[in-house]
């Protein structure tokens, strides 16, 4: 929700560049202090670090920002609930994490709910909104990009501290967003003078909470547990964002959106059910 409001005053790539540039400046002192104790980055791991930055920062943020400009904050927040479901699939397929039959049922249910959110019923009813549909698809691609990055990150966190992985990922984001942000400035050099105090507050919020806190805590949690469990902490954000979008932005919930939210919520519950204790909690659950 904050991103949608802040994007009304900042160009897409300029906002992305500034949030990660500020984040790195704030993280740099801690990185320098801990770098003396941390393991040096091996050359063979450098491509993985770049991949984490590309997927979790560059593609994830770019797709999300472009998407949220075309759709509502409510739809965008709800679709981010698909991230834990995608994490279940990725963790099972790539990292060989345990998955049960009930999880697969939940995955199918969540994907069905996602179809309701992106507007599939409206397509059949002839009430198709092309921009909103495209925006929702981009939000889903953003979620997929995040999960791919988390897979690479999981491997790196076995040998490197979360602060190192986070700082390097942000640095990759700065490098990749620099040229697009520069082009935006050259196209409209006057946009910085039009940013209000609300826009500055939005940038600081995104930098401190959505960048530093969210990424660092996710990486820290990922280092302590699995991709799936780490992604469970993202349940809170969409719920809060939907409530704020309705109260502050005045967005309305359509019937298909309500149905989609309920289906996704049930799917996420089933899709991540028994993930912490696995067979010890449910010995009769069919393991896949």
- Joined tokens for residue 150: 């988390």
What pLDDT does residue 54 have? 97
Going by the DSSP 8-state scheme, the letter that residue 43 receives in this structure is G
Is 77 or 175 the better-scoring residue by pLDDT?
175
- Give the CA distances from residue 238 to residues 42, 172, 266, in Å, rounded to whole numbers and listed in that order: 37, 26, 15
What angle, 0 to 180 degrees and rounded to 10, lies between the N-to-C axes of helices 12-35 and 197-205? 40
Write down the residue that tokens 């902490």 correspond to: 233
Flag whether pLDDT at 128 surpasses 70.
no
What pLDDT does residue 121 have? 57
Is 262 or 174 the better-scoring residue by pLDDT?
174
With b meaning 16 or more CB within 10 Å and e meaning fewer, what string describes 57-81? bbbbbbbbbbbbbbbbbbbbbbbbb
pLDDT band at 284 (very low <50, low <70, confident <90, very high): very low
Q: Rounded mean pLDDT of the chain?
A: 77
Flag whether pLDDT at 288 surpasses 50.
no
- Joined tokens for residue 195: 């940013």
pLDDT tens per residue across span 197-208: 999 999 998 888
**Percent of the chain having pLDDT more than 70?**
70
What pLDDT does residue 72 have? 78
- Joined tokens for residue 31: 């990185």
- Give the CA distances from residue 125 to residues 116, 135, 144, 187, in Å, rounded to whole numbers and listed in that order: 12, 19, 28, 41
HSE value, Cβ hemisphere, 13 Å, CA-based, for 278? 9
Average pLDDT over residues 44-54: 95
Q: Which of 24-28, 148-152, 177-181, 232-236 has the lowest mean pLDDT?
A: 232-236
pLDDT tens per residue across span 220-279: 555 555 544 444 445 555 555 566 566 666 666 667 677 777 777 777 677 665 444 433
Flag whether pLDDT at 214 surpasses 70.
no
Q: What is the pTM of this model?
A: 0.73
Find the helix or strand (DSSP H, E) in which 56 lies.
Answer: none
Q: DSSP letter string over 225-270?
A: S-HHHHHHGGGHHHHHHHHHHHHTS-----HHHHHHHHHHHHHHHH
Spatial separation of the C-alpha atoms in residues 55 and 58, rounded to whole Å = 6
Find the helix or strand (DSSP H, E) in which 135 lies.
Answer: helix 130-156
Dihedral (CA of 195, 197, 203, 206) sign: negative
Dihedral angle of Cα 111, 113, 117, 121, to the nearest 10 degrees: 100
Question: What is the CB neighbour count within 10 angstroms for residue 51?
Answer: 19
Is 6 or 230 the better-scoring residue by pLDDT?
6
Q: What is the largest CA-CA distance in the chain?
A: 64
pLDDT tens per residue across span 61-84: 999 999 998 887 777 777 776 777
CA 145 to chain CA centroid, nearest Å: 8
Average pLDDT over residues 95-104: 73
Going by the DSSP 8-state scheme, the letter that residue 192 receives in this structure is G
- Whether residue 24 contacts residue 170, with contact meaning beta carbons closer than 8 Å, is answered with yes
């Amino acid at each position: 929700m904050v991103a949608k409001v802040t994007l009304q005053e900042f160009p897409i790539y300029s906002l992305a560049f500034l949030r990660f540039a500020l984040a790195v400046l704030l993280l740099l002192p801690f990185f320098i202090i801990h770098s003396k104790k941390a393991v040096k980055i091996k050359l063979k791991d450098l491509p993985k670090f770049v991949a984490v930055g590309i997927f979790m920062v560059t593609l994830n943020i770019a797709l999300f920002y472009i998407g949220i400009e075309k759709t509502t904050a409510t739809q965008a927040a709800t679709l981010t609930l698909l991230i834990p479901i995608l994490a279940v699939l990725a963790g099972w397929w790539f990292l060989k994490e345990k998955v049960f039959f009930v999880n697969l049922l939940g995955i199918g249910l969540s994907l069905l709910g996602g179809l309701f959110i992106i507007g599939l019923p409206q397509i059949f009813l002839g009430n198709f909104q092309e921009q909103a549909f495209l925006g929702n698809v981009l939000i889903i691609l953003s979620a997929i990009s995040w999960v791919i990055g988390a897979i690479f990150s999981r491997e790196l966190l076995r040998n490197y501290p979360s602060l190192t992985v986070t700082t390097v990922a942000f640095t990759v984001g700065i490098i990749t967003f620099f040229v697009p942000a520069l082009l935006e400035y050259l196209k409209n050099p006057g946009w910085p003078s039009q940013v209000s105090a609300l826009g500055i507050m939005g940038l600081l919020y995104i930098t401190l909470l959505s960048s530093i806190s969210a990424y660092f805590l996710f990486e820290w949690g990922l280092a302590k547990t699995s991709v799936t469990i780490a992604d469970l902490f993202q349940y809170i954000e969409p719920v809060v964002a939907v409530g704020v979008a309705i109260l502050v932005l005045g967005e309305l919930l359509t019937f298909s959106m309500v149905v989609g939210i309920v289906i996704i919520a049930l799917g996420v519950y089933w899709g991540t059910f028994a993930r912490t204790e696995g067979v010890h909690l449910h010995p009769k659950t069919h393991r896949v």
